[in-house]
Structure 1
Amino acid sequence: MQRNPYNKNKQEAFQAAQQGFENAQGLYETIVSDSANYGHQLKHLKDEVNEAYQQIENALEVASETQRPQLEQFQRDLQNIVQEVNLEE
């Protein structure tokens, strides 16, 4: 039986969004503990966050009902990161 490519795309989109979120979150945690390169790392974080947002948006377009709440949580968590960083500037 051949797998439905639509379901495969959903899973790949979700995994890309999850990976993008985890990259941004990991970088945020690094920045907080390393102030020496703060300015440079802040720009890198903004790029990662923007990329993660895009991946999440793409995944939401094809997401299953079970994936949607997790993707929306990723968006909220990214928004929290953005707000935390903006407070520190």
Structure 2
Amino acid sequence: MPYNKNKQQAFQAAQQAFVQLEDAYQQLDEQSPDYGHQTKRVHEELNEAEQIIEKAYVVATEHQKHQLDIYANELMNVKYELFK
């Protein structure tokens, strides 16, 4: 049973990292004097989310892997938007 618990914890950590990235990304405001700081935070959240999702993918169930794939695609979209 601990193995299943680890799967669930890893998946929940990935979900949380993704939500934190979304929050940081949605708060980006090019007109804000804090835009540089906001951008740095998004980069940090992006890097952290990528690492956590990668680790979760190793122990994920098939259903969780599907959701992690969706998160990974969204991360790529954020990355594209940041670096275009």
TM-score, normalised by the number of residues in structure 2 = 0.94
Change beyond 3 A, Cα 1:43–1:69: same
Pick the structure with greater CA Rg. Answer: 1
Matched with 1:5 is 2
1:31 paired with 2:62, answer: no
Q: How many residues align?
A: 84
Unpaired runs of 5+ in structure 1?
Answer: none
Going from structure 1 to structure 2, the CA distance change for 1:53 and 1:34 (only over 3 Å counts) comes to: farther
Question: Corresponding residue for 2:13?
Answer: 16
- Alpha-carbon RMSD: 1.3
- Give the conservation status (yes or no) of the 8 Å contact 1:24–1:45: yes
Q: In the alignment, what sits opposite 2:75?
A: 78
In structure 2, the partner of 1:47 is 44
Counting aligned pairs with the same residue, the percent is 46
Instruction: In structure 2, list runs of 5 or more residues that go unmatched.
Output: none
TM-score, normalisation: structure 1: 0.89
Q: Aligned AA for 1:31?
A: L
